[in-house]
Each structure stands twice: as C-alpha cells, then as structure tokens.
Amino acid sequence: MPLSDAKIRNLKSKSKPYKVSDFDGLFVLVKVSGSKSWRFKYRVDGKEKLIVFGDYPAVSLSKARELRDAARTNLANGLDPSELKQEEKLRRAEASGQTFEKIGAAFLAKQHKEGKSKATLDKTAYHLKLANRDFGKKAITAITAPMILRTLRKVEVKGNYETAHRLRARIGSVFRYAVASGLAETDPTYALRDALIRPTRQHRAAITDPIAFGALLREIDVFEGQVTTRIALQLLALLAQRPGELRHAKWGEFDETERVWAIPAGKMKMRRDHFVPLADQAIKLLDELRPLTGESEYLFPSLRSWHRPMSENTMNAALRRMGYSGDEMTAHGFRATFSTLANESGLWNPDATERALAHEERNEVRRAYARGAHWEERVRLSDWWAGYVDELKAS
C-alpha cells in the first residue's frame, strides 16, 4: 500500500532500523534514532543496488517519488542512477575547487608556514607535479588506489624505486590533509603500501681506511679545478657536515673570534640550531677563502650568480675528476669517514661524535640533555680531528 504523509509522520523508531515500502522500489528506512531516510532499490545486470535520496521531511514524499521516477527513466535508458549521482557529486567537487591539485597546493602552503626547509619544499612541489599530471584536475574523492598505482608504476618502470615510494608517501600526505580538512574520507595510498618494489638501501660511498683517506686528502690539496671547490672539499673533510649545509653556508654564520659556525635551524635536517667548532685549520681555510668570495653572502657562491650557492653537483664532480667513482667516495661520505675513524680511535664519547654530526637522538630525555652537553669535548674532538687529518696527509 502506497505511503502517505500522515503514515510517514506516525512511524515510530524501534530497537532496530526497519523499512516501510511505498511502491516501484521506493521505501523509507526508519532508524533507531527516529530519523527517516528515503531509499530506492533497483537492479543492474541482475545485481541489487541502492541509492539514497535524503531524509524526510527535508525530502518530501512527492519529491522522493519524483527522484525515483527519474531514476527509473535512467535505468530504462541503460544508465545507472548511482553512477550518475556520483558523477554529479564529483562535478560539484571539481567546481568548488576540491581537486587534488588545489588541495595539494594548500598542503604545500601549510609546509611553507611550518618553516620546512627549501629542500623539503622543493621535493614536495616536484612530487605534486608528478601526481598532478595524471589526476590533479580530478576531485580528490574521485581518485582511487588503482589510479594512483598507475602513476607510481610510471616512475617505478624507470627503475626509480625510491622515488616511487616517496611519491606514494607524499600523495598520502595530501590525502590525510584532505581528510583532516573534511574534504575526503580515506587515504587510498594506504592500500598501496606493499604494491611497490622495495628499493635496496645503499649507503653513500665513503673511504674509511686511514691510508686511503690520506691519499684522497692529498689529491684534494693539489686539485687543479676551481680554488673555491678545493676549499669546499677541504672544509667538508674537516667539519664533517652535510654538503648541502656547507654549500648554503653564509659568512654571517661564522664567528672566527669565538671559533664557531652557527647553522640556523632552517638549514638543518633536524630543524634545530647546530654549532660547529672551528679548528685552526678551518680558520686558515676561511681566511684563504674570504678574499675570493667575501663580497657574496655565501662562502661558496655559484659561478653564474653570487646570489645563489654552489651547485649540489660541484663537489661530487670534483671527486670524479680526481678519479674517485661514485662507488668509492661521495661528498656526503666525509661524514661517514669522520664517524668511523673518530669512533675507532676510542678517544671520544660516541654521543659527542653523534652531536658533531647533528644526528637525531631518538630518546627524548637524552635529546633534551644532549642539546647543551658535550660542547667542550666536541671542541677537543674538532682540534684532534683536524690534527689527525694533517697526519694522514703527511703519512
């Protein structure tokens, strides 16, 4: 028997939801809370499907019947009402700017405000560019795990397994930002955790044999390329900091009177200020460098513009010119050399060595303590290391 408004109003909630039919597949679902929801049941290719029209009385009886009749007309024309409703929802999402590209841009802006490093921001922008090529214009709710996987496979097929994993993580970050913002319900990248080829972790090549390291130091001393490149490698060997931190070093960060290089948190991987003791040998190299680049804010400006730092490939390219392949030594490898030889000496507290490298302490209590600890020992360690470097060169 068809429903009436009076009958619908008199429907009471029960301990379980129940259905009351109208006709031609339309029914009202009475929930335990007492709310009443219009549903339309139909079949496509023998499969039962359901579409929700909304709650009564916001959607009246006559309106619900009108929506049912429109759905039946679409069925007669070979169109699935649920798919049509989803497509309309996606069109509205795209029109309102809820696309992956727009939300990705908002996520990147959030990282800017959080003070993320330039390297992190550049990587985020690069990964978003890769994703936007394939589905940036789509509503974020329309993007599925298989769709994302097709994008990841394009990177993976080139052998860039690490990039594929990082791209998946970055896309996931955008989705989680969308979920937190109420613009999406799930993160489809979660289902892809085991879908990609796992990259083989390779440590950056480093020379850790003292005799071989001494030979490298002598090669650097007689390097016939740019003088600034030679000094950069010499300082890298003495200071054992990350190549990017040295490339972006500015004269204003160095206090030769206090004999310290103060690296601001914005340049550090762990986002904390870091202080590096300067031994006599480091001060001497700075004095040699200042007449060459002292008019730039950077210790090692680019050859093309003094307003930009040296290229990230410069120091590795110099090592290749000296005959050291990427499997033998890298600019980043000087850190591993320092860590290995300093620890093997048995002279220094391992915590002081770790602090010299600005490594993250996982234990929060130890990390809080380590911020001010070991400075005096690190100063002695710096002087010892500089002297040891001289001994290796002379041996």
Active site residues: 242, 269, 332, 335, 359, 369
CA geometry: angle 167, 169, 173, nearest 5 deg: 115
Q: What 3-state DSSP class applies to 337?
A: helix
Cα four-point dihedral sign 284, 289, 290, 296: negative
Q: Which residues of 261-298 are buried (b: 16+ CB within 10 A; e: fewer)?
A: bebeeebbeeeeebebbbbebbeebbeebeeebeebeb
Q: What 3-state DSSP class applies to 132?
A: helix
Cα–Cα distance, 56 to 39 (Å, whole number): 11
Q: What strand order describes the sheet that includes 26-30? A: 18-21, 26-30, 36-44, 47-56
Return the half-sphere exposure (C-beta side, CA atoms, 13 A cut-off) of residue 27.
12
Whole-angstrom Cα Rg for the chain: 32
Cα–Cα distance, 341 to 378 (Å, whole number): 15
- Rounded to 5 degrees, φ, ψ at 355 are -65, -35
| Cβ contact 384:347 at 8 Å | yes
Q: Minimal CA–CA distance to 43: which of 3, 4, 72?
A: 72
Q: Minimal CA–CA distance to 36: which of 2, 16, 15, 12?
A: 12
Count of residues making up the chain: 395
Cα–Cα distance, 65 to 106 (Å, whole number): 42
Cα 128 off chain centre by: 10
Cα–Cα distance, 95 to 184 (Å, whole number): 16
